[in-house]
Amino acid sequence: MNNFTYCLPKSALEAANQKMSDPAAQFIAGGTNLVDRLKVFLDKPSQLIDISQLNLQTIETTADGSLRLGALVTNTKVAENQDIRRHYPMLARAILSGASQQIRNMATVGGNLLQRTRCPYYYDRAFPCNKREPETGCPAIEGMNRNHAILGSSEHCVAVHPSDMCVALAALDAVVEVISPQGTRQIPFSDFHRLPKNRPEKDTHLEPGELITAVTLPDSSKNPSGVYLKIRDRASYSFALVSVAASINLDGDKIEGVRVALGGVAHKPWRATEAEEFLIGKSFEENSLTEAADIALQQAQPLSQNQFKVELAKRAIIRALKVSAQGGGIV
């Protein structure tokens, strides 16, 4: 861990101003990923801006019926909130499928969005890594890549985003609120994270000095039968090989609405929009679900060790939609 200074701002704007004045500074809240990175010199901030005491710790219903999650609400409080469990159950289930209770007690909404890939080469300084040090190479492409991306990757990086919560937020069309010295803005969740392209060191579209203040769940994304299906090597405390956040609304056997987002397959939570569009108006039957799953994975480009993820993701999509049609229930 390098030496750094420490400050405790009294407001979100003060924190954003502090960050703007020192680009090498970093925000810290729960610290559940950042402290790990500090300990192995992955991050070497000039100062830590401690935002943990800011007034961003409430869950509230807004005038238009949306649910607004303060950026510092812990993952545990989100997962235990009765409105979340009743109206956005895929989010509660996604959170409870990740990490451990102790980590969820510390981890925050904003921090969850900003956690970085768990690609082992990224954390091991004995290897080059384009995400850690641009233009040094990506050993995962020819190396151990069983857990890596099958969609949206580039010749510069094949890492996956590690979050479960963000997969549900992608399916729910969440909106990220940020503040900076220039003011505030709202970022649709699908535009928050980025694909690696030729800049894998950048995970998000945040601008310098921007601080996440809240994540809003639209009223329109309420769905009591939303599910989160996570497939992993161990039953707990393990990242997803493939995960699916899904919900489906039926009128008889006709599909009126559907949401599908995938985790463990790309550098960002992956919304399967083409598969969703295909399903609208179709009959809820095996052939439709199978074709939709094929569409969702038609752009897949698996690596040497993760071809299995393509079929796994297809089957997970079909299973998640079937469970949602039956009322939900997967954790």
Q: Which stretch binds ligand SF4 (CB under 6 A): 14-22, 134-142, 213-221, 315-323?
A: 134-142
CB of 35 to ligand SF4, least distance (A): 19
Among 45, 200, 209, 328, interactor with ligand SF4 by CB under 6 A: 200
The yes or no reply on residue 269 touching ligand SF4 (CB under 6 A) is: no
Identity of the residue, 79 or 140, whose beta carbon is nearer to ligand SF4 in the bound complex: 140
> Encoding tokens for residue 235?
């039953």
* Binding of residue 259 to ligand SF4 (CB under 6 A): no
**DSSP symbols for 132-190:** TSTTS--GGGTS--TTS-SSS-BTTB------SHHHHHHHTT-EEEEEETTEEEEEEGG
In contact, 151 and 266? CB cutoff 8 Å: yes
318, 290 Cβ separation under 8 angstroms: yes
Q: Which is nearer to ligand SF4, 157 or 321 (CB)?
A: 157
Specify the residue, 74 or 130, whose C-beta has the smaller distance to ligand SF4. 130
Q: Binding of ligand SF4 at residue 239 (CB under 6 A)?
A: no
Give the 3-state secondary structure of 106-117.
HCEHHHHHHCCC
Q: Determine if 129 is a binding residue for ligand SF4 (CB under 6 A).
A: yes
Q: Give the number of other Cβ atoms within 10 Å of residue 134's Cβ.
A: 13
Phi/psi-derived region of residue 137, left when phi > 0, alpha when psi is between -120 and 50, beta in every other case: left
Selected binder of ligand SF4 within 31, 139, 218, 224 (CB under 6 A): 139
Q: By the 8 A CB rule, do 260 and 276 touch?
A: yes
> Is 117 a binder of ligand SF4 (CB under 6 A)?
yes
Binding site for ligand SF4 (CB under 6 A): 117, 119, 121-122, 129-131, 138-140, 157-159, 200
